[in-house]
Amino acid sequence: MALLADRGSDLLIDGKMVSGSAGTFGTINPATEEVLGTAANADAADMDRAIEAARRAFDDTDWSRNTGLRVRCVRQLRDVLREHVEELRELTIAEVGAPRMLTASAQLEGPIDDLGFAADTAESYPWNQDLGEASPMGIATRRTIAREAVGVVGAITPWNFPHQINLAKLGPALAAGNTVVLKPAPDTPWCAAAVGQLIAEHTDIPPGVVNVVTSDDHSVGALLAKDPRVDMISFTGSTATGRSVSIDAAGTIKRVFLELGGKSAFVVLDDADLAGAASMSAFTACMHAGQGCAVTTRLVVPRARYDEAVAAAAATMGSIKPGDPTDPGTVCGPLISARQRDRVQSYLDLAVREGGTFACGGGRPADRDTGFFIEPTVIAGLGNDARVAREEIFGPVLTVIAHDGDDDAVRIANDSPYGLSGTVFGADPARAAAVAARLRVGTVNVNGGVWYSADAPFGGYKQSGNGREMGVAGFEEYLETKVIAEAI
């Protein structure tokens, strides 16, 4: 079986692959600007049917209570994705513009393997906790804490790491006993549709438990937040859209998980290997054209060595050329769309108006007539009050900012509406760890440590969102707590 062969993609609703009522829309290769094909275009009626199917599957079947079935089905999904990993790899490179090297980790193989963690967690989870006997109000009572599924989950996901984010929601939500309606970004519909096809054709996941609804109409996804039949929204995307999701969900007081934007700081202390740290910061900012919410896009360095840091960052970034994502050596591929490329360019133009200069980059690469590419860019000469230092650009852009010691570096790093991630580099591990402990962020890399892992919770402080994804904490986002008190 070839994924999405011949006819493009369909919606998955109530266990069946069906056409979209609004016809189809195109999906584009961001590296070539060529139309890859079409995706099913859902309308409000399709979303209504998907929500109803998920509601019925939760209310009228034993899915939420049959832990053994859920564990088996999530492992089935992992295994069938592994079997089709090469087809998924080529699809992901073409539709997302993801560099091939990243599909061996967070763009594809990592999130597939991480489904095993969700299944293992459900299998070993203490679903019931005995609180023992007590006599509140003089009545002898045996108390039990029960954990159970929230219900119907509406999952709304972005385009930058579609498999990572889609599967980081599907895995724990399903393993915990929920049913799901997945609304992926219109820029990457095939990545989600392929997963839906494999679920329908190669797993025992019952009809209605997973529904995949692709659409180029963002209002179709907004219906999930408004609909009273949906018990929870799990959203990853921009802070502005997350705010709208929260407002829509407030009408029914449903649970909302948000993983939003970031403007993370890479803090270099005055005892660190400055050239090495600046080079690592620059390399990180170029990966997948900087299209990652947790990318460290502010390089905060000692003022006395500012020019040296700018030069080191520019030497690395200037050597990384935007390239064909099918090439195994490509680090920086295209941006996802012309709209996003123009948005990034508008920030580069703003940097000049704010008084900044480019140590390298600053626009479209001269050697690429097609594709949504932007040169890796280092911005110098601005403080943390500049808009390009405060707003999420989502491109291969690094702003270098001077600090005057550890306290000032912490102040600058925390002086942001966001609090998603951060990095600290310093020769003294204890000193670096002390600075890391003061950062108001959800994840911190100290001297190159890696926080990305299935068992490590991921999420942010402040306007970077609420709740956690991945790890046991991410699994528990999809659970309710019930106390059962039995008179004895």
Q: Give, for 72, the enclosing helix (H) or strand (E).
A: helix 67-83
Query: Does 160 score more than 90 pLDDT?
Result: yes
Query: Per the domain annotation, does 398 fall within a domain?
Result: yes
- Which CATH number fits the domain that encloses residue 132? 3.40.605.10
Q: How far is CA 26 from CA 6, 38, 115, 211, in A?
A: 14, 4, 30, 21
Given pLDDT bands bounded at 50, 70 and 90, which one contains residue 8? low
List 52, 95, 259, 392, catalytic entry: 259
- Which CATH number fits the domain that encloses residue 333? 3.40.309.10
Q: How far is CA 227 from CA 51, 179, 231, 232, in A?
A: 8, 15, 9, 10
Q: What pLDDT does residue 7 have?
A: 47
Residues 251 and 384 in one domain: no
Q: How far is CA 12 from CA 52, 201, 218, 299, 323, in A?
A: 13, 11, 18, 44, 34
In the chain, count H helices and then E strands. Answer: 15, 22
SS3 327: coil
Query: Per the domain annotation, does 457 fall within a domain?
Result: no
Beta bridge partners, 147, equal 481
Query: Per the domain annotation, does 226 fall within a domain?
Result: yes
Residues 82 and 199 in one domain: yes
Given pLDDT bands bounded at 50, 70 and 90, which one contains residue 3? confident
Q: Which of 487, 485, 481, 484 is nearest to 127 (CA)?
A: 481
Query: Does 151 score more than 80 pLDDT?
Result: yes
Q: What pLDDT does residue 273 have?
A: 98
Query: Does 364 score more than 60 pLDDT?
Result: yes
Mean pLDDT estimate for the chain: 97
Query: Per the domain annotation, does 452 fall within a domain?
Result: no
SS3 213: coil
Sequence-separated (6 or more) residues with CB below 8 Å from residue 438: 410, 414
Residues 19 and 135 in one domain: yes
375 is catalytic: no
Q: How big is the chain, counted in residues?
A: 488
Q: What pLDDT does residue 6 have?
A: 52
Query: Per the domain annotation, does 300 fall within a domain?
Result: yes
Query: Per the domain annotation, does 360 fall within a domain?
Result: yes
Asked if 379 contacts 399 with a C-beta cutoff of 8 angstroms, the reply is yes
**Paired sense of beta strands 128-134 and 141-149, if any:** antiparallel
Residues 424 and 472 in one domain: no
Token readout for 361 is 């980059």
Mean pLDDT on 57-65: 98
Residue 75 Rama label (left phi>0; alpha psi -120 to 50; beta): alpha
Q: What pLDDT does residue 9 have?
A: 81
Residues 121 and 253 in one domain: yes
SS3 211: strand
Query: Does 298 score more than 70 pLDDT?
Result: yes
Mean pLDDT on 147-154: 99
Phi, psi of 218 (to 5 degrees): -65, -25
Query: Does 1 score more than 50 pLDDT?
Result: no
Q: What pLDDT does residue 4 have?
A: 72
Residues 217 and 290 in one domain: no
Sequence-separated (6 or more) residues with CB below 8 Å from residue 197: 3, 4, 9, 10, 12, 17
Residues 160 and 281 in one domain: no
Asked if 189 contacts 39 with a C-beta cutoff of 8 angstroms, the reply is yes
Given pLDDT bands bounded at 50, 70 and 90, which one contains residue 5? low
**Strands, E assignment, 160-304:** 179-183, 210-212, 232-236, 255-259, 264-268, 296-302
Given pLDDT bands bounded at 50, 70 and 90, which one contains residue 463? very high
Residues 243 and 141 in one domain: yes
Q: What pLDDT does residue 174 have?
A: 99
Q: Which of 267, 294, 292, 293 is nearest to 280 (CA)?
A: 267
Query: Per the domain annotation, does 112 fall within a domain?
Result: yes
Query: Per the domain annotation, does 12 fall within a domain?
Result: yes
Residues 210 and 321 in one domain: no
**Strands, E assignment, 291-372:** 296-302, 357-360
Report pLDDT digits (tens) over 305-357: 999 999 999 999 999 999 999 999 999 999 999 999 999 999 999 999 999 99
Query: Does 23 score more than 90 pLDDT?
Result: yes
Mean pLDDT on 455-466: 98
Q: Which of 264, 376, 368 is nearest to 315 (CA)?
A: 376
Given pLDDT bands bounded at 50, 70 and 90, which one contains residue 156? very high
Distance between CA atoms of 50 and 220, rounded to whole angstroms?
11
Percent of the residues in the chain that have a pLDDT greater than 90, as a whole number:
98
Mean pLDDT on 476-485: 98
Residues 381 and 363 in one domain: yes
Residues 317 and 367 in one domain: yes
Q: What pLDDT does residue 110 have?
A: 98
Token readout for 115 is 């489904």
Domain count, the chain: 2
Lowest mean pLDDT among 7-11, 104-108, 208-212, 378-382: 7-11
Four-point Cα dihedral 224, 115, 96, 239, nearest 10: 40
SS3 366: coil
228: containing domain: 2-261+465-487
Q: What is the pTM of this model?
A: 0.97
Residues 178 and 313 in one domain: no
